[in-house]
Amino acid sequence: MEHLVNSKVKNIELSGIRKFFNMVAEYDDVISLTIGQPDFTTPEHIKEAGIQAIRDNFTTYTQNAGYIELREAASHYVKEKYQLNYSPDHEVIVTVGASQAIDCTFRTLLEEGSEVILPSPVYPGYEPLIKLAGGIPVYVDTTKSDFKLTADIIKPHLTEHTRCIVLPYPSNPTGVTLEEAELKEIADLVRERDIFILSDEIYSELVYGKAHHSIAKVLREQTVVINGLSKSHSMTGWRIGLLFAPEAVAKHILKVHQYNVSCATSIAQKAALEALTVGIDDASDMKKAYRERLDYVYNRLVNMGFEVVKPDGAFYLFPSINKFNKSSFDFALSLVKEAGVALVPGSAFSPYGEGYVRLSYAYSMDQLVKAMDRIENYLKKNDN
């Protein structure tokens, strides 16, 4: 009966990140730096709020858009942090993780043949959702602009079919972000055109040495902001995403969300309320630790001879491996077999990711030190 399966579903692939993660699980004594999973546990006060929600029998449906107190807290959060103004009643939707928010947005905004501009290399989760919504991914090479999608790079790719531009900053897999001036230039380019911006800001609280800026501050009416608690509060398994959009757009996204999941998990919503109020600055200690790890791993890689753009945020590095004359998959597999270290082949992040590997430093310093030592020994061994 497989021949009856929707062709759009048959033609998409499982994530290259997960495929490589599952493959290296077969090897013994491997330090895996593959998954963007914070090694911190969810803060205790947030866990207690979830437990209390169960005890209080807060286990029924909430409003489709989410528990109103949580939407109010989310509205206050982005205003306090990023100077964004959204009505909790009509412009905030609590989703089942940022991924569901992105899916609902694409299914709301795209029609058959709509083009979506993606900065590449890019997180592989966008392309399948675009295709399932009938859209066409348009990959734009950012490897020569320090992985930044700028207005000058976007302009040649705009057509009458362009419906959306994805701005995933800070970036997975590169960790770079855009400056306020760069965002303003993009806003000026698309203002008053029939083009939406999907601004994926899931790593907004993990920006180092500077402030995070959202394009929604200068292009509100054309922007859908995606955020959530997975990275900022180490709540990946709680599956709480946050979507912010003008009412004229949000009311339609809400219909897709409603028929998709009804509402986000009530218990997780109570925990999220605690995170966005009492825990509004919980990310600060995590960010300090990530910054220390970034500096350590970056310096080690540079001293080994890797070419790598130093990131501004998130918890990834994306070093070039072109000098080794191997495909990213072969290099990564060789590193697993010979050094016991797993990184993600850059080819998992679109064709423009070939020639790179992604390293996640969302792991303990002890693991990172061991991994860097193993990589250094691997390079010395293969130089001889």
- How does pLDDT run across 256-295, given as a tens digit for each residue? 999 999 999 999 999 999 999 999 999 999 999 999 999 9
Residue that has been written with the tokens 């990310």 in this structure: 283
- CATH architecture for the domain at 57-276: 3-Layer(aba) Sandwich (3.40)
Given a cut of 90, is residue 28 above it in pLDDT? no
Question: In the structure, what pLDDT confidence band is assigned to residue 12 with cuts at 50, 70 and 90?
Answer: confident
Question: In the structure, what pLDDT confidence band is assigned to residue 10 with cuts at 50, 70 and 90?
Answer: confident
The CATH 3.40.640.10 portion of the chain extends over: 57-276
The CATH 3.90.1150.10 portion of the chain extends over: 2-42+282-383
Query: DSSP for 119-133?
Result: EES--TTHHHHHHHT
- Structure tokens given for 122: 């890019």
Q: Mean pLDDT across the stretch 219-225?
A: 98
- How does pLDDT run across 60-88, given as a tens digit for each residue? 999 999 999 999 999 999 999 999 999 99
Residue that has been written with the tokens 């000058």 in this structure: 152
CA atoms within 13 A on the CB side of 5: 9
- pLDDT score of 229: 98
- Cα distance between residue 334 and residue 328, in whole Å: 10
Given a cut of 80, is residue 128 above it in pLDDT? yes
Tell me the CATH number of domain 2-42+282-383, given options 3.40.50.10860, 3.90.1150.10, 2.70.98.40, 3.40.50.1950: 3.90.1150.10
Please state, for a pLDDT cut of 70, what percent of the chain lies above it.
99
Q: Is 196 helix (H, G, I), strand (E, B) or coil?
A: strand
Given a cut of 90, is residue 335 above it in pLDDT? yes
